Structure 1
Amino acid sequence: MSANVAPPKIRYRVQGMDCASCARKIETALTRVPGVSDIAISTTTETLRLRADGSGTGEQVEKVVRDLGYGITLVMSEETRHHHDHRAEDDPWWRSAKGRLTLFCGLSLAAAWGLAALLPGYEVWLYTAAMAVGLVPIARRAVSAALAGAPFTIETLMSIAAIGAVIIGETEEAAIVVLLFLVGELLEGVAAGRARASIRSLTGLVPKTAFIERNGSLEEVQAETLAVGDVIAVRAGDRVPADGTIVSGESAIDEAPVTGESTPKRKGKGETVFAGTINTDGSLRVQVTAEAQDNTIARVVRLVEEAQEAKAPTERFIDRFSRYYTPAVFVVGALVAILPPLLAGEPWGEWVYKGLAVLLIGCPCALVISTPAAIAAGLAAGARRGLLIKGGAVLEILGKVTAVALDKTGTLTEGRPQVTDVIALGEASARDVLEDAAALDATSSHPIARAIVARAQAEDIEVAPAVGVMAFGGKGVKGRFKRRGLFLGSPKAAAAITPLPPEVEARVAALQEDGKTVSVLLVNDAPVGLIAVRDEPREDAIEGLEALKARGIVPIMLTGDNAKTAAAIARTLGVEPRADLLPQDKLRIVNELRAQGKVVAKVGDGINDAPALAAADVGIAMGGGTDVALETADGAVLHGRVLDIARMIRLSRDTMGNIRQNITVALGLKAVFLVTTILGVTGLWPAILADTGATVLVTANAMRLLAAGGRT
């Protein structure tokens, strides 16, 4: 391999890695392996990614991880892995290595208790043997970690406390403490497994097979083999097996499994469908637009997995804090054990016992898992609802946003014109006006023409094309329909053909004042109707903006449109407009808002507004199903709802509140038991039980976010 070419990244599954301290221990050990670089670990997805330069490096990596007490399985090179890289669900807890060890340790303790009643005088040896069943694997992991450069681990704390308890004659309590520690680790693993399952459940939404059109017939194939351009049939009631565009057919698409929306959306030819959604009532032919490993769900899962590795500032602080915290616990435990006997003549046995209890109270598991568990749950909760947040740092800063700058076209509005007014002049009816206009526009691809034809079809008007149609760029279109000469164009172009009455000009001016584009229909050179179109606000735009205001956030609309059009839309939405903007103007406005001390989120399409998205504290792509949007922004609202911006911010604030609760529980329980231990109220086994309980409590609290991710 050339010296200039980096070795490919290798991906492993690591079993039994349940909290941040596990990840740090593995990372510390692997940094000492020659040839290993770019180490990235995610406890939530049980993944280890690294570069290994050398044929034997992979074997060394696996040996180091196994020596630390974890299972490890090579998945494959990141450059060659595909969407089918998914494992079976975890075995039941009693079939896992931790489960078997815990059960065996529990049976040994029960046997020791029974034999102690039958063999008086042998209690010490019986309980020591029972303790050794669980302690030997723990101590082995502690030694491996110490040799690998991580001497201050939970296993080290546990080993010292248990051995010390035996030395001072508390063998029965030492055996109970070891069992409780193993039970705590087991519960921690079960709780962490729930977070992993929540992410993996996304991939289960995509069906395994698909019906592809080949040689005039349908053939059932594996969904992961579909290629871009393939045409597949999706029957009523089936899940859509790939991202694609509807070629023919119409149906209500239930997007609830992906977005949480309860109402199916009616979709037809030319509209986009996502893998994992449900085709409820009609047959569809869909052209595939993304391969299995690149469909929306696969990309969301992959980005969420990678986001686990991007630590939030709070998480980095807790991580740094715990590096000093654990050695400090050793020092405090030693001082508690030594100082009272030395300085005050207190009994050595009593204070050594208390010092050992302090070591157990100081176990850092609950503290170090408090933040990553909440971050992982928050990211997963968002992903399940189409709110893609790329990392803990982004999730944290979203909650601090005080101003949101939103593009108008395609963000606050649908991004395509819609007919808003059809006005008949004279004897013609509005239906006649629409039928004539649609006849002229039947074969045009112009956005306004498509809007007029769509409105006619929505009103059950049969659209028949006019004959002799000619288009005049920027002016209008003319042709013949039902033996009459028709012209549809701008008011200025129509007035050049025939003068418009003052009352018609007044109505045109009123429509234009509302930011609408007006077309005048002439029949045999006489004005018979007006059609107004406008890019209308999204259905949830007003509700979404009100939700932002309710959180104390100032929304601002940015647009390149003229001031009159911008003002009309802004009045409808109740938002402050900034109009006639070029990309550099949007960048300037974002910088001005930040200079005023505001934390700014910029919401746009992720392409034309790249400078402003990059300059904002958080850049959010609206309707981010495209590769560019997913890659350029800090987050993406995959399903294009304005309300989802407020939901994303709410999720961030919920997550940060959850983290504060978790830290309070973790440190609060330790403080309480520290005091009760020094006072002699509690001892060894309540101390380890408190740490176990705190770990399970903070993990369970974090899991609550999975149920609350869609709230506003």
Structure 2
Amino acid sequence: MTSEAKALPVRTQKEIGWLKAIKPHAELIAAIISGLLILTGWLFSHNGEQAAAVTSYLLSFVIGGFAKAKEGIEETIAEKKLNVELLMILAAIGSAIIGYWAEGAILIFIFALSGALETYTMNKSQKEISSLMDIQPEEAWLVSDGDERRVHVSSLSIGDVILVKPGERIPVDGSVVKGHTTIDEAAITGESIPVSKQQDAEVFAGTVNLTGSVYVEVTKPSSETLFQKIIDLVQSAQSEKSPSQLFIERFEGTYVKIVLAIVALMMFLPHFLLGWSWTETFYRAMVLLVVASPCALVASIMPATLSAISNGARRGILFKGGVHLENLSHIKAIAFDKTGTLTKGAPEVTDVVVRDDLSVDDLLAAAASIESQSNHPLAQSIVRYAEKHQIPYSAPDQLEDVAGWGVKGIALGKEWKIGKADFVGKEAAHSFYRGVAKQLAASGKTTVFVEDDQGIAAVIALKDLIREETKQALELLQQEGIHTVMLTGDNEMTAKAIAEEAGIDTFIAECLPKHKVDHLKGLIDDYGTVAMVGDGINDAPALATANVGIAMGEGSDVALETADIVLMKNDLPKIAEAIRLSKKMQRIVKQNVIFSITVIMLLIISNFLQAVDLPFGVIGHEGSTILVILNGLRLLKAE
């Protein structure tokens, strides 16, 4: 809060806070008030109080139509082209001129409500950028002449050396010049297994330093880090308009021009060509303006869309807007992130192979004893496995953490070493138990070796297991004729094993966020409309690039904000349900559009033939609106 704000009275500060809170919802509040005024006007009219009814309708015009009228006029002046906003306002005014205040007010109300919902969706879509900014550190420990001082990351230059302590996020891209540690790079690569870092190893901004302190030499300014590029990719992808948006904009301009041109001609040509009186000519022009207004067309889409969105919410599928629901029906291919999406996102022990003279329980007791003192994710997985199988363990008598390699300590009266193959002896590790480690690695598993005073004692395999519902979800999508693809930061061998186990059509391994975006653009070129399913920060650019981004509900805030659709319960089979719901909505929308256009055309023709008066024109126009709304509401109960 600024010093000026702090100086204000408490009451004034509360009022300012209240105004800020309601400002994003101003259009929606205006639309609701407009609707209430319409109801009030109808009650007055029903009781014979016409003056009060007209006043209420007039207030509904002003309150509900102000924002859209301002937007329409400003856009017309700025872009020098007419728009639907302007046409709707003129149609409402036209209905009022000939005495039909209620119809004009209802027209304003429907359009104002639609605009409020569009504004709400746009505001929500901007939040992911601030979420990304919150994750990127703003300060770093700069090391200079043996001293450490806290500085802003923007002041760092290439060649500076910074200190990154355990538990901190790395503030810039760089390379390790001193120290050993383990880093969680899931924010960048999506890989669930932390990576050991030693001297000369490359590190990325936004990743988490887990175990040891390291000195890092800055190799890129803060504005050019890989993490910053993720932010730029999200912004760039969201600024691109979809083909359907461009088509709607072109249709809008053409429709408004045609209607206004015909109304303008109707105001004088029939008088000279058909001998109509000036009163009849103006009357027919106003009737045309009312019946040609796209009220039914607007109602053809919005109620059906909102009904489908409500239906999806009850099933645990959150749609962020109608356009995403519409695009979902055109999906030809879906790309999946692996970690946390197709898999559980955390390594679990799958195999324990021990030497013949040892028992599995004794081996796990010793391993859990030593690993219980480590915060490495693999160590924690081994401890959880021992606890799950009710194997007792105690603190080790002695422990030494060998950064980047593993741990060694004394437990159960013996010295043990647990870690990589190179740590316990590469040749012995690979030859243990007829090369079982190689077989385990070939199936996409991470291997940890255990050594005692007799040599290699065991190999423990861990894997990020596939979710139970993954296979079912992929089968349902393939039944819909959708091609499935896995994009992962894993190596080729691990990715292949996961893809085969899950039953996915194709996979692309070793993907950084930039690669995911490039591959996704290639899929869009090949298949047309493509969805992306992910849960991590690294998935945000791909989610934004895809025609439809789908996030797992338990994923990162950035993924949730960037995505167009969120699976609130991480239930992958819901994707197929969402696609079926989208296709049903599209069928209903097409029915509504064809019906509403047909009614509008019949009313226009009848008006030219002088076969319909204004009351019947309004009944036909508003009646078609009610019918398409009711048809759309069927989606509330869609199975």
Task: Judge same fold: TM > 0.5, yes or no.
Answer: yes
2:43 aligns with: 103
Write the distance in 1 (CA, Å) between the matches of 2:627 and 2:500: 48
Q: Residues 534 and 695 (structure 1 numbering): CA distance in 2 closer, same or farther, change over 3 Å?
A: same
**Structure 2 SS opposite 1:456:** helix
**Is residue 418 of structure 1 aligned with residue 348 of structure 2?**
yes
Letter in 2 for 1:479: G
Matching of residue 454 in structure 1 with residue 384 in structure 2:
yes
8 Å contact 2:297–2:593 — kept in the other structure? yes
**For residue 368 of structure 1, what is the aligned residue in structure 2?**
298
CA-to-aligned-CA distance 1:104-133 (integer Å, 9 cap, x gap): 22333xxxxxxxxxxxxxxxxxxxxx8777
Equivalent position to 1:574, from 492, 496, 503 = 503
Per-residue CA deviation, residues 30-89 of structure 1 (Å, 9 max, x unaligned), is xxxxxxxxxxxxxxxxxxxxxxxxxxxxxxxxxxxxxxxxxxxx9967994389989999
CA displacement, residues 289-311 of structure 1 (integer Å, 9 cap, x when unaligned): xxxxxxxxxxxxxxxxx99x999
- Backbone CA RMSD of aligned residues: 5.3
The amino acid of 1:546's aligned partner reads E
Q: Identify if the C-alpha distance between structure 1 residues 421 and 103 changes in structure 2 by more than 3 Å, giving closer, same or farther.
A: same
Q: Give me the whole-angstrom Cα distance separating, in 2, the residues matched to 1:319 and 1:674.
A: 19
Of the three residues 384, 400, 410, the one matched with 1:480 is 410
Aligned length: 490
TM superposition shift of 1:568 = 0.6
Letter in 2 for 1:547: L
Work out the CA distance in 1 between the residues paired with 2:384 and 2:557.
Answer: 29
CA drift of 1:374 comes to 4.7
CA distance in 1, matches of 2:289, 2:24: 45
Letter in 2 for 1:559: T
Structural mapping, 1:456-605, within 5 Å: 456-491=386-421, 493-495=423-425, 504-522=433-451, 524-525=453-454, 529-575=458-504, 576-596=506-526, 598-605=528-535
Q: Secondary structure at the match of 2:409?
A: strand
> Once the 2 structures are TM-superposed, how far is the Cα of residue 572 of structure 1 from its aligned partner?
0.7
Equivalent residue runs for 1:124-163 within 5 Å: 153-162=90-99
- 1:569 Cα deviation after fit: 0.4
Q: Which has the higher helix share?
A: 2
> Take 1:365 and 1:75, find their aligned partners in 2: how far apart are those partners?
38
| Alignment CA distance shift 1:435-1:93 (3 Å) | same
2:256 is matched with 323
Q: How far apart, CA to CA, are the structure 2 residues paired with 1:435 and 1:140?
A: 78
Q: Where does 1:28-107 land on structure 2 (aligned, <5 Å)?
A: 80-81=20-21, 96-107=36-47
Secondary structure in 1 matching 2:346: coil
Residue pairs, 1:189-208, within 5 angstroms: none
In the superposition, the TM-score normalised over structure 1's length comes to 0.55
Q: Distance in 2 between matches of 1:446 and 1:691?
A: 68
**CA 1:455–1:87: 2 relative to 1, 3 Å:** farther
Alignment of 1:103-502 (within 5 A): 103-108=43-48, 153-162=90-99, 181=103, 312-313=245-246, 315-317=248-250, 319-321=252-254, 323-324=256-257, 326-328=259-261, 330-331=263-264, 338=271, 341-342=274-275, 358=288, 360-375=290-305, 393-426=323-356, 428-491=358-421, 493-495=423-425
Structure 1 318/493 Cα, relative in aligned 2: closer, same or farther at 3 Å?
same
Partners of 1:693 and 1:457 lie apart in 2 by 67
CA distance in 2, matches of 1:319, 1:376: 22
SS of 1:479's partner is: strand
Query: Which TM-score applies when normalising by structure 2?
Result: 0.61
State whether residues 405 and 556 of structure 1, in contact with CA within 8 Å, keep that contact through their aligned partners in structure 2: yes
User: Structure 1's 703 and 571: CA in aligned 2 closer, same or farther, altered over 3 A?
Assistant: same
Alpha-carbon spacing, 1:91–1:688, altered in 2? closer, same or farther (3 Å) = closer
Q: Secondary structure at the match of 1:592?
A: helix
CA distance in 2 between partners of 1:334 and 1:606 (Å)? 60
**1:209-257: CA deviations, max 9, x gaps?**
xxxxxxxxxxxxxxxxxxxxxxxxxxxxxxxxxxxxxxxxxxxxxxxxx
Structure 1 residue 355 displacement after superposition? 6.9
CA shift, 1:366, in A, is 1.7
CA distance in 2, matches of 1:675, 1:356: 14
| Local SS of the residue matching 1:437 | helix
1:180-200 Cα shifts (integer Å, max 9, x gaps): x3896699699989999x99x
Cα distance between partner residues in 2 of 1:695 and 1:76: 41
Q: Is the 8 A contact 1:337 1:351 kept in 2?
A: yes
| Partner secondary structure for residue 414 of structure 1 | strand
Take 1:84 and 1:559, find their aligned partners in 2: how far apart are those partners?
Answer: 38
Contact preservation (8 Å) 2:492, 2:510: yes
How far apart, in 2, do the equivalents of 1:189 and 1:75 lie? Answer: 30
Identify if the C-alpha distance between structure 1 residues 156 and 550 changes in structure 2 by more than 3 Å, giving closer, same or farther: same
Matches of 2:114 and 2:380, distance apart in 1: 52
Q: Is the 8 A contact 1:188 1:696 kept in 2?
A: no
Q: Is the 8 A contact 1:470 1:478 kept in 2?
A: yes
Native 8 Å contact 2:540 2:559 kept in 1: no
CA deviation after TM superposition for structure 1 residue 422, in Å: 3.1
The one-letter code of the counterpart of 1:446 is: H
Residues 329 and 161 of structure 1: is their aligned pair in 2 closer, same or farther, counting only changes over 3 Å? farther
Q: Which amino acid aligns with 2:398?
A: G
- Preserved CA contact (<8 Å) 1:337 1:353: no
The answer to whether the Cα contact below 8 Å between 1:337 and 1:354 also exists between their aligned partners in 2 is: no
Q: Give the letter aligned to residue 403 of structure 1.
A: A
CA contact (8 A) 2:535 2:556 kept: no
Q: Give the AA of the match of 1:157.
A: G
**1:322–1:364 Cα contact (<8 Å) kept:** no
In the TM superposition, residue 562 of structure 1 has moved relative to its aligned partner by 1.8
Letter in 1 for 2:441: Q
Residue 314 to residue 462, structure 1, CA distance change in 2 (3 Å):
farther
8 Å contact 1:191–1:696 — kept in the other structure?
A: no
Measured after TM superposition, the shift of residue 417 of structure 1 is 0.7
Q: Aligned pair in 2 of structure 1 residues 142, 328: CA closer, same or farther (>3 Å)?
A: farther
Matched to 2:47, the amino acid is L
Q: Which runs of 5+ in 1 are unaligned?
A: 1-7, 9-73, 109-129, 163-176, 200-305
Residues 81-90 or 667-676, more deviating: 81-90
State the AA in 2 paired with 1:324: K
Change in 2 beyond 3 A, CA 1:391/1:404: same
Q: How does 1:637-648 map to 2 (within 5 A)?
A: 637=567, 640-646=570-576
CA distance in 2, matches of 1:84, 1:105: 34
Q: Report the alpha carbon displacement of residue 155 of structure 1 after superposing the two structures with TM.
A: 2.8
**C-alpha distance in 2 between matches for 1:597 and 1:160:** 52
Letter matched to residue 103 of structure 1: L
C-alpha distance in structure 1 between counterparts of 2:58 and 2:488, whole Å: 64
Q: Which has the higher contact order (CA 8 A, sep 6+)?
A: 2
CA contact (8 A) 2:552 2:560 kept: no
1:675 Cα shift? 5.3
Q: Note the residue ranges of structure 2 that are not aligned, 5 or more in a row.
A: 6-13, 74-85, 122-237
CA separation in 2, counterparts of 1:525 and 1:513? 27
- Write the distance in 2 (CA, Å) between the matches of 1:88 and 1:618: 26
User: Deviation string for 1:234-283 (max 9, x for gaps)?
Assistant: xxxxxxxxxxxxxxxxxxxxxxxxxxxxxxxxxxxxxxxxxxxxxxxxxx
